Structure 1
Amino acid sequence: MTTTLWNTLVITLSRADGFGSPQYGTGGWTREEALAEQQSLLDRLAAEFPHTYSSVAAKWRIGAKDDTVYARPRSDAMSVHAIYEYPEDEDPVHKALEWLDDFSMQATGQPFQLIVPPTTPPTAPGGTFSRR
């Protein structure tokens, strides 16, 4: 039997060009651990940018619908914070790309297009991928 694992996902969407810059976490967590990891990130953002993230962190704390919350850090951008599940025997990037495709189809009616392949820079544990 395959175990279900969880990961975090943060997407910064630009209104100017329509591109998204997603980052995913290291994964391998239980659902509770992924929720806590995303809460920790939102709490850090709320401490630094209280006007933008305090209500978002509070919403996550009480239970976000579909494990997803939205913030507007700038007038020309939006960030999406979520957790997602994936089978233990699958790469979390594959499921993140499926999540992004579903999100894109719901938001725009168009599939997400990966332009830059996943990488693992030191600043983004687990790697990043984007449409840029």
Structure 2
Amino acid sequence: MTPPTTGVLVFDGRCGFCTRTVGWLRLLDRDARITTLPYQQAGAPERAGATTAACADRVHFAADGRTVTGAAAVNAALAVALRTDLPERLYSRTAPVQDRVYGWIARHRGRLPGTTPWCERHPEVCGP
């Protein structure tokens, strides 16, 4: 299965760990195939076919008319950035483990090391 050529990743812009992770993804995405948006930005959740509450809970990735969340979203975004279906094939074989790890990270993301959150650097985009 060939990954989509572009996609939209919606993440928690008030989370330093999430912001750092998105920074790593952007480094891998040399051709800027993925648009990254904090869910706090007006219209961002809708771009991923989601609600603000859903995006506050977990990352969302939308491409080719489908949206995936959590660990599946991370793998789908990596597949687009790297232009290979390897991350998604790996996820299909390890989903239960990856989903548990993602759930733990999502619940503890405020305590994990990160960087200055996106919304602190760009308050004009995120609002108060």
Higher strand share: 1
Q: TM-score, normalization: structure 2? A: 0.27
Instruction: Find the structure with the greater CA-based Rg.
Output: 1
For CA contacts below 8 A with separation 6 or more, give which structure has more relative contact order: 2
Higher helix share: 2
Q: TM-score, normalization: structure 1? A: 0.27
